[in-house]
Amino acid sequence: MIQLDVDPELLRQTDEQRQLRDVLREFLAQTCGPEEVREQSAGPRGFDRSLWDRLAGEIGVHGLALPEEYGGAGGSFRELAVALEETGRVLCPAPLLSSVVLAAHALLASGDRRACERWLPGIATGTLTATVAGFLHSGTVVAERGPDGWLLRGEADFVPDGEGADLLLVAARAPDGPRLFACESDAGGVDRTPRRLLDPTRRQALLRFRGAPAVPVGDAGEAPGVVEGVLDAGRTGLTAEQLGGCAHALDALLEFVVQRTQFGRQIGSFQAVKHRLADLLVEVEAARSASTYAALCLADPDAGEPRVAAGAAAVVCSAAYRRAVAEYVQFHGGIGFTWEHPAHLYVRRARADEALFGTSDDHRLRLAGFLGLVGDRSQVVDRAASHPEH
């Protein structure tokens, strides 16, 4: 059905990736523990600026998948995915997904060299934060020509990290069709309303454009393709974060069930517990396989179609994360239901993630369409033709 002709070696972690993982795990253990996550996400920005700068500067996370000519390290999405898995593991509330994945890939995919030269180096060094608006929940943003250039009007909701981003990449309706625009925050004309959130570790905002000055990015007519590509990159990056969250939940559970005793036994010795953790392991391994493959397809389209791989990974990783966080709470019993325990932060993240780039059912329907799993559609046309009332 899906042709899978991949060199198995490419699914294995390289030595460089392992080193990156080790460095990040260590760094985040020191800077981004459960208490820090709460403090950072409750702060005015929603993340810690010095942590952000160190991630960009000391470790170089931001530039991992960006070309060298724009200040990046020239790596691939596979390395970026490793980094996102680690930040997802600790729920690091830094806007990497919006800035480094979504906005950076929107600029790259637009093929607009001037726009890339202007903004990508800032994203790579972390001095500039950016996000995208109107990509999924197709907003009502309209672009019109003013006397001094383009102006944006309308609304875009659920914009990730939309309140604080320095640069907005907006999918808007221009007179000649959909087009991408870049809108800098200091140019004014945008009202930003932070939404009250299920998941405090990733902020969202409603943006109202009131004649906000903007410049077009890329050619007219190419926006739909760019938007789809960026969403697939976002889905893939998100699955890496979800995988990290799953792995954390499983690790925390394994630690807890051997330490906790009831009825005179470690609860991890009960088959009712063991079998459910075994099932969770199966799902986490499935998530790892699907997410790794999706990142590989973004890095090297010869490995497979990114839109299929990203959709499949989104389905698998959302389901795994859902199960992982449910078990995270359940097996901790009463303590898992407290505010103090971090489990609920993962519940919040897992459920909020599921809606970020389309629900699992949306992904399934898209996949069915891509792969022709729709039966014989001609029957629909026939029926509609003979029974106009349908």
Residues that bind another protein (CB under 8 A): 1-2, 4, 6-9, 11-12, 254, 257-258, 265-266, 268-269, 271, 273-275, 277-279, 281-282, 285-286, 289-290, 292-293, 312, 315-316, 361, 363-365, 367-369, 371-377, 379-380
With contact defined as beta carbons under 8 Å apart, do 120 and 109 qualify?
Answer: no
| 3-state class (DSSP) for residue 130 | strand
Q: How far is the CB of 261 from another protein (least distance, A)?
A: 11
Q: How far is the CB of 378 from another protein (least distance, A)?
A: 9
| 3-state class (DSSP) for residue 32 | coil
Please identify, using beta-carbon distances, which residue of 183 and 316 lies nearer to another protein.
Answer: 316
With contact defined as beta carbons under 8 Å apart, do 172 and 142 qualify?
Answer: yes
Q: How far is the CB of 358 from another protein (least distance, A)?
A: 13
> What is d(CA 60, CA 74) in angstroms, rounded to the nearest whole number?
11
Which residues, in sequence order, are CB contacts of 147 under 8 Å at separation 6+? none
Q: Which residues pair with 133 in a beta bridge?
A: 170
Per-residue tokens: 54: 């160190």
Q: How far is the CB of 285 from another protein (least distance, A)?
A: 5
Please identify, using beta-carbon distances, which residue of 85 and 199 lies nearer to another protein.
Answer: 85
> What is d(CA 65, CA 275) in angstroms, rounded to the nearest whole number?
39
Please identify, using beta-carbon distances, which residue of 377 and 387 lies nearer to another protein.
Answer: 377
Please identify, using beta-carbon distances, which residue of 196 and 387 lies nearer to another protein.
Answer: 387
Q: How far is the CB of 367 from another protein (least distance, A)?
A: 4
Q: How far is the CB of 362 from another protein (least distance, A)?
A: 10
**If we measure between CA atoms, which residue out of 103, 98, 122, 100 comes closest to residue 204?**
98
With contact defined as beta carbons under 8 Å apart, do 199 and 245 qualify?
Answer: no
Q: How far is the CB of 313 from another protein (least distance, A)?
A: 9
Please identify, using beta-carbon distances, which residue of 58 and 382 lies nearer to another protein.
Answer: 382
3-state SS of 154-223 is EEEEEEECCCCCCEEEEEEEECCEEEEEEEEHHHCCEEEEECCCCCCCCCEEEEEEEEEEEEEECCCCCH
Please identify, using beta-carbon distances, which residue of 18 and 49 lies nearer to another protein.
Answer: 18
Q: How far is the CB of 280 from another protein (least distance, A)?
A: 9
Please identify, using beta-carbon distances, which residue of 8 and 44 lies nearer to another protein.
Answer: 8
> What is d(CA 109, CA 64) in angstroms, rounded to the nearest whole number?
16
Max CA-CA distance within the chain?
A: 79
Q: How far is the CB of 240 from another protein (least distance, A)?
A: 15
> What is d(CA 371, CA 250) in angstroms, rounded to the nearest whole number?
33
Task: Report the C-alpha dihedral over residues 171, 115, 152, 133, rounded to 10 degrees.
Answer: 40
> What is d(CA 83, CA 56) in angstroms, rounded to the nearest whole number?
11
Query: Residue written as tokens 């007179």?
Result: 175
Q: How far is the CB of 288 from another protein (least distance, A)?
A: 8
Please identify, using beta-carbon distances, which residue of 8 and 388 lies nearer to another protein.
Answer: 8
Please identify, using beta-carbon distances, which residue of 64 and 320 lies nearer to another protein.
Answer: 320
Please identify, using beta-carbon distances, which residue of 22 and 39 lies nearer to another protein.
Answer: 22
With contact defined as beta carbons under 8 Å apart, do 170 and 159 qualify?
Answer: no
Amino acid in position 85: E
